Amino acid sequence: MLGREWPGTKVGHGGTLDSSASGLLVMLVSSATRLSGIVMSMPKVYRAIVCLGKETSTCDFAGEEVFSADWRSVSEADIDRALCSFAGWRNQQPPKVSAVHVGGRRAHEITRSGGDPELQARPVFVESLVRHGAVSESGEFALTIRCGKGTYVRAIARDIGRSLGCGAHLSSLTRESVGCFSISNAAKFSEAGELESGELRRAMTPLSVLSDFLPTYAFPDEDMRRLENGLAAPFGHAVRKSFGRFAPEGVIAFASGGTFSIARLKRLDGEFWAAPEINIFDRTDSEVNR
């Protein structure tokens, strides 16, 4: 969670989860809500359990069976060969029960009202798929999937089943990380669905974590003041602070003093300038945002 605990403050999120999934949900507090698009675009890591032998209408355990076949002739080598074909860029058709817009309506609304939404395949990026352990007697196996924005892991399970000819769906899905945010550092809910005392404050994460994850630079005070006022500053004056591990759509960050700025490079009169798109201010050590 980015930001600080503050009664009455604005709260957003960095990407929702399917109702049948569990795991990390990044919450954005106060002015950090302006970083929602950046967080949503970050790479994600999922732990999935795929079950062979049946495809469902939702591509997970919550749906109705639409196809089934005997999976027992499928070997682990067959599965691993199939997994290799899913790495990298590929066109993926979203599940019909999904939040994708079709003609101004959500695909799941059309499907649940008896319609048949025409979903176009979309390019998605899968960095890696790693199988863990053997296939169980019930046809289940575990996967760790590293992927980019917009990837439906349910659709990966569906397409694995189609590739193997036996059908498949997700038995479970857990999101373990979003960019630099990990479930190991997240606030934990009790069995009653409530946060224990102090758990929310413990899980608050300062904006400084993004300085290590994004390509980050510092400007002299005069140029930082230009960014703060919404004006572009000459990139030639910038000093690199970190190379970062992720650059969403080519944006870069500037952190200096009490300002964290998301900017984009533009070429003006033969020179590169950093044009600010988001400015977030932090004037004290004890407060993340104001």
DSSP string, 189-251: B-TTS-BPTTHHHHH-B-TTHHHHHS-EEE--HHHHHHHHTT--EEGGG-EEEE--S--GGG-
65 Cβ contact list (under 8 Å, min separation 6): 54, 55, 56, 57
| Predicted pLDDT at 271 | 94
pLDDT at residue 8 greater than cutoff 70: no
Residue predicted with more confidence, 287 or 126: 126
Strands 140-147 and 44-52 come out as antiparallel
Instruction: Kindly list the distances between the CA atom of residue 110 and the CA atoms of 62, 71, 158, in Å, as whole numbers in the listed order.
Output: 17, 32, 20
Q: H or E segment at 164?
A: helix 153-164
Are the CB atoms for 97 and 63 separated by under 8 Å? yes
In angstroms, the CA 11 to CA 55 distance is: 37
Residue type for position 263: A
Between residues 147 and 189, which one has the greater pLDDT?
A: 147
Catalytic residue among 18, 60, 223, 282: 18
Question: What is the arithmetic mean of pLDDT over 183-189?
Answer: 85
Is 269 noted as a catalytic residue in this protein? no
The residue assigned the tokens 């002299």 is 220
Closest CA to 251 of 228, 274, 231, 271: 274
Distance between CA atoms of 191 and 102, rounded to whole angstroms?
38
3-class DSSP assignment, residue 280: strand
Query: Can you give the pLDDT at residue 290?
Result: 34
Residues in CB range of 23: below 8 A, 6 or more apart = 17, 46, 47, 173, 174, 175, 176, 183
pLDDT, tens only, 64-109: 999 999 999 999 999 999 999 999 999 999 998 888 888 888 888 8
**Per-domain boundaries in the chain:** 44-178, 209-281
Instruction: Work out the average pLDDT over 243-260.
Output: 86
**Backbone phi and psi for residue 161, each to the nearest 5 degrees, phi listed first:** -60, -40
Strands 22-23 and 168-178: parallel
pLDDT higher than threshold 90 for residue 126: yes
Residue 154 predicted with pLDDT over 80: yes
* pLDDT greater than 70 at residue 283: no
Rounded Cα gap, residues 230 and 13, in angstroms: 25
Mean pLDDT for the chain overall: 88
Tell me which CATH code domain 44-178 carries.
3.30.2350.10
Looking at per-residue pLDDT, the higher value among 146 and 106 belongs to: 146
The 10s digit of each residue's pLDDT in 210-239 is 888 999 999 999 999 999 999 999 999 999
Q: d(Cα 260, Cα 211) in Å, to the nearest integer?
A: 9
